Amino acid sequence: MQFAALDLDPRLSRAVAARGFELTTPIQSATFSLILAGADVIACAQTGTGKTAAFLIPILQRLLTAGPHVGPSAPQISTRVLVLAPTRELAVQIDSDVDGFAYDTGLSSVAVYGGVGAAAQSHGLGAPADLVVATPGRLLDHLRSGGTRFDGLEVLVLDEADRMLDMGFWPDVRRIVEALPRVRQTLFFSATMSDDVFRSASQIMREPRMIRIDGGGGLPSTIAHRKHQVPAADKTAWLASFLRRTGGSTLIFTRTKHGAERLSRRLTKAGVRCAALHGDRTQGQRSAAIEGFRSGRYTALVATDIAARGLDIDGIGHVVNYDLPDSPDSYLHRVGRTGRADAVGTALTLVGVEELGALRTIEQSLNIRFSDTRATATDNEQAPEREPARGSRPKSGRSVKTFTA
């Protein structure tokens, strides 16, 4: 479907066009009218298929169509939309995406997350903003201090709902829900839909409509899955050689924060422009790492699984599992950072002999096949080439992101 056929508010339509959006993705087509009509929705689709735009565009359209809403504490304008996200990176990104779509509409948003001072966030909540994008823990802090209320809330969105459950945020989510109006629209968006996620969703929703796009919970066919068998002691040298020969951006995953920091330092020493992203870094350091990777200042970003969900950067050609992920679900969300929006990407996993059994488990669980790459740090064979992107959307002059979830 053409976005131009959705009869959007002209201000929103201009922003959509400026960001290069032409055709809706299947998840966007399936959910747009339901969200616009106010239905509760559980939506599950592959990573990289545009789930964030699938809820933001119809929500913004509803707000613009209805006009300003005055809450019970009149004459103060009430926050109308709350989006909960599992990580601060995702919260910042969604807030930035709201700005990209709503910059010409007069609608406001504020991001609420830990790791930074709460004063500016308190001001945004007290104003209040039309949309609040928050991580559960920091938002609970504000609710407990009496710094914010959601008496006039119309829409609650849980983005990456499965991740929120996996990370143990569900008790916090339930406490937040108890502070919200009972009559509201609730939207669940997720890449996977386990029985636990469905049960949890049903507890806080009213007759939800279930939308599952074919392949939901799986991986896009645009990702090539490769493995390279290498002893743990040789991984860093092999990876440094691979990165020096491979063009484009590479996202590398380690199991621990210490491992990410150590690998980043060693790759930098080996001549790779590299940064680290993990939980022990300050918010400023984390933002600088992401923006440096986005701009091309760094060609490699070494991260823990904190970056596996929600990190949306155009043109990541390779995802490398330096450490084997601890589950098929973790593999799915790590490698989903490449091969997005119809671009082609490669997921490369470095394994020792003792890890081959665990890799086969991932292979069987996700119904994928790992091909071998025989290139080593010392032989003359070419390392796996970055595969050319296809289907990329044109960019506007604004510094905004292509919308994929």
Q: What is the pTM of this model?
A: 0.70
Rounded distance between C-alpha atoms, residue 5 and residue 132, angstroms:
29
Tell which wins on pLDDT, 155 or 67. Answer: 155
Q: What is the pLDDT of residues 87-119, one digit of tens each?
A: 888 898 899 999 999 989 999 999 998 877 666
Of 111 and 147, the structure prediction assigns the larger pLDDT to: 111
Average per-residue pLDDT in the chain? 83
Question: Could you report the per-residue pLDDT of 3-52, keeping only the tens digit for each?
Answer: 888 889 999 999 999 988 888 988 999 999 999 999 999 998 877 778 88
Partners of 81 in beta bridges? 131, 155
What average pLDDT does this structure show over 318-343?
86
> What per-residue confidence (pLDDT) applies to 308?
59
What would the mean pLDDT of 172-200 be, rounded to a whole number? Answer: 89
**176 pLDDT above the threshold of 90:** yes
CATH topology of domain 3-212: Rossmann fold (3.40.50)
The pLDDT value recorded for residue 238 is 96
Q: Which of 122-136, 253-267, 336-350, 391-405 has the lowest mean pLDDT?
A: 391-405
Residues 65-81 have a mean pLDDT of 64
Are the C-beta atoms of 54 and 27 separated by less than 8 Å? Answer: yes
**What token pair was written down for 9?**
């508010």
Q: Phi, psi (5° rounding) for residue 41?
A: -135, 135
Which two tokens mark 149? Answer: 């209320």
Q: Is the pLDDT of residue 341 over 80?
A: no
- Could you tell me where the DSSP H helices lie in 145-296? 161-166, 170-178, 195-203, 235-245, 257-269, 283-295
Q: Does residue 219 or residue 349 have the better pLDDT?
A: 349
3-class secondary-structure state, position 205: coil
Tell me the percentage of the chain whose pLDDT exceeds 70.
84
> Residue 216: what pLDDT?
52
Residues 223-372, CATH architecture: 3-Layer(aba) Sandwich (3.40)
Residues 6+ apart with CB under 8 A from 400: 19, 96, 97, 99, 100
Task: Output the pLDDT for position 398.
Answer: 30
Mean pLDDT across the stretch 250-262? 95
CA 109 → CA 257, 270, 372, distances in Å? 31, 42, 47
- Residues 299 and 250: their CA atoms lie apart, in Å, by 6
Of 63 and 392, the one with more pLDDT: 63
Confidence of residue 400 (pLDDT cuts 50, 70, 90): very low
Where in the chain are all domains bearing CATH 3.40.50.300? Answer: 3-212, 223-372
